[in-house]
């Protein structure tokens, strides 16, 4: 079966589809490999391919498609606004074993939206209309869109939905925040429910899913066909299996501190490139720790110490101090106001 047949079957089946959100500099081939060992999602997204007049698909992102070690379908995401370049790239990406081509309409980084790409396109619905029309013609496999609910105001969502309804897209993922809201609280799950009611295509719900109980409630509340999970899965790679257990009515297994420590060791073993400076390797691990740290006991103290380390020996000394124990970990952030990311990406 081709990846897009597998993906189409997932969308047609009854079970809610669980997916890992695209995350630049996080959802690499190495991270996919680690997440898959913990059960993993049903489908993966690549980080976005930057598309402009002279762009070529980035080699390291192509690796997550050609060397996909998960046995699950992977969807290639593009960001950009140049229609001929998007068509050219979409055609090229279809030569790879991808399950779908996805368009990013959500990236909130000012460097991206000022160029009217990602979330910036939400200010120009007519342009989205033209891009979707052109890409729908060019993409012969499933074509999907990932959007936020507006640029400045959720009131923009009605007009956007009309455009999404006009083009026969195969899936809409809704991150239920506006672009200017970045990652601040106030996720509008009611608008995901509206999209699921009004659109013919399946809808995935995205935004702030950190526990299995919350995932189950969100599926019921919104009628979404599936969930897309980002930061919650970095923090808790067990989350996808926990959600599956919750939906079957089984008891959720919580990892111990030592399990989390082993997960960090596994990330280290997979993420680290031999020959790279120790400090750069420590910085790479800190990227993951910003998320994982929010879920461990005494997150402020843990993160305060981990952010200051410069050697890998000290990095693991602190991890062991906080995590080498049999305590059960819920891994939900204690403070449900997630960090605000301003550096999601560079294009
Ligand atoms: C570090 C980071 C990188 C991201 N990169 C992308 C990206 O490349 N493409 C995209 O559509 N969204 C990107 N996002 C947004 C996520 O896919 C997701 O929509 C967002 O984090 C909300 O989901 P969550 O609350 O489950 O994390 C990124 C988010 C983070 C935290």
Mean pLDDT across the stretch 298-322? Answer: 96
Question: Which ligand 1 atom is at minimum distance from the Cα of 229?
Answer: 26
Kind of pairing, strands 101-105 and 203-206?
unpaired
Using the mean position of ligand 1's atoms as its centre, give its distance from the Cα of residue 321 in Å: 30
Using the mean position of ligand 1's atoms as its centre, give its distance from the Cα of residue 94 in Å: 23
Amino acid 346: pLDDT = 34
Using the mean position of ligand 1's atoms as its centre, give its distance from the Cα of residue 22 in Å: 6
Residue with CA closest to ligand 1 atom 28: 23
List the catalytic residues: 107
> Is the pLDDT confidence value at 172 over 70?
yes
Mean pLDDT across the stretch 225-231? Answer: 98
Q: Which among 19, 21, 44, 214 is the best mutation to test ligand 1's pocket, defined by most ligand atoms within 8 Å of the CB?
A: 21
**In the CATH scheme, what is the code of domain 3-247?**
3.20.20.70
Using the mean position of ligand 1's atoms as its centre, give its distance from the Cα of residue 205 in Å: 13
Question: Which ligand 1 atom is at minimum distance from the Cα of 210?
Answer: 26
Residue with CA closest to ligand 1 atom 3: 23
| Res. 84 pLDDT band, cuts 50 70 90 | very high
Residue with CA closest to ligand 1 atom 23: 207
Mean pLDDT across the stretch 278-282? Answer: 95
Contact 104 CB / ligand 1 (< 6 Å): yes
Question: Which ligand 1 atom is at minimum distance from the Cα of 206?
Answer: 23
Question: Which ligand 1 atom is at minimum distance from the Cα of 173?
Answer: 19
Mean pLDDT across the stretch 331-346? Answer: 53
Q: Do domains 3-247 and 257-323 have the same CATH topology?
A: no
Question: Which ligand 1 atom is at minimum distance from the Cα of 208?
Answer: 25
pTM of the full structure: 0.95
**In the CATH scheme, what is the code of domain 257-323?**
1.20.225
Report domain extents, the chain: 3-247, 257-323
> Is the pLDDT confidence value at 335 over 80?
no
Contact 207 CB / ligand 1 (< 6 Å): yes
CA geometry: angle at 264 spanning 236 and 182, to 5°?
50
Amino acid 273: pLDDT = 85
pLDDT tens-place string over residues 51-79: 999 999 999 999 999 999 999 999 999 99
Amino acid 274: pLDDT = 85
Contact 26 CB / ligand 1 (< 6 Å): yes
Residue with CA closest to ligand 1 atom 6: 23
Residue with CA closest to ligand 1 atom 22: 207
Contact 24 CB / ligand 1 (< 6 Å): yes
Contact 333 CB / ligand 1 (< 6 Å): no
> Is the pLDDT confidence value at 345 over 50?
no
Q: Which among 22, 64, 147, 342 is the best mutation to test ligand 1's pocket, defined by most ligand atoms within 8 Å of the CB?
A: 22
Using the mean position of ligand 1's atoms as its centre, give its distance from the Cα of residue 201 in Å: 22
């Amino acid at each position: 079966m081709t990846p897009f047949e597998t993906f189409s079957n997932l969308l047609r089946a009854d079970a809610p589809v669980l997916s890992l959100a695209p995350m630049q500099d996080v959802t690499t081939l190495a991270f996919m490999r680690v997440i898959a060992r913990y059960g993993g999602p049903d489908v993966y997204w690549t980080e976005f391919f930057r598309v402009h007049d002279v762009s070529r698909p980035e080699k390291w992102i192509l690796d997550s498609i050609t060397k996909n070690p998960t046995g699950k379908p992977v969807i290639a995401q593009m960001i950009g606004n140049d229609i001929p370049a998007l068509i050219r790239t979409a055609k090229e990406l279809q030569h790879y074993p991808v399950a779908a081509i996805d368009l990013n309409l959500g990236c909130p980084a000012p460097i991206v939206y000022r160029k009217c790409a990602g979330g910036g396109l939400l200010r120009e619905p007519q342009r989205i209309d033209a891009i979707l029309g052109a890409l729908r013609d060019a993409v012969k496999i499933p074509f999907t869109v990932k959007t936020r609910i507006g640029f400045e105001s959720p009131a923009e969502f009605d007009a956007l939905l009309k455009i999404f309804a006009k083009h026969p897209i195969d899936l809409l993922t809704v991150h239920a925040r506006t672009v200017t809201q970045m990652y601040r609280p106030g996720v509008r799950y009611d608008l995901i429910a509206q999209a699921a009611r009004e659109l013919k295509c399946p809808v995935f719900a995205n935004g702030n899913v950190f526990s299995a109980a919350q995932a189950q409630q969100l599926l019921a509340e919104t009628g979404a066909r599936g969930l897309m999970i980002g930061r919650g899965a970095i923090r808790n790679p067990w989350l996808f299996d926990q959600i599956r257990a919750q939906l079957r009515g089984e008891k959720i297994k919580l990892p111990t501190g030592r399990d989390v420590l082993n997960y960090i060791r596994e990330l280290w073993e997979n993420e680290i490139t031999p020959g790279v400076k120790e400090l750069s390797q420590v910085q790479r691990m800190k990227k993951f720790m910003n998320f994982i740290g929010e879920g461990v006991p005494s997150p402020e103290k843990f993160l305060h110490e981990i952010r200051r380390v410069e050697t890998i020996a000290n990095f693991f000394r602190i991890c062991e101090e906080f995590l080498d124990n049999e305590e059960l970990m819920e891994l939900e952030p204690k403070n449900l106001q997630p960090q605000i990311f301003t550096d999601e990406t560079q294009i």
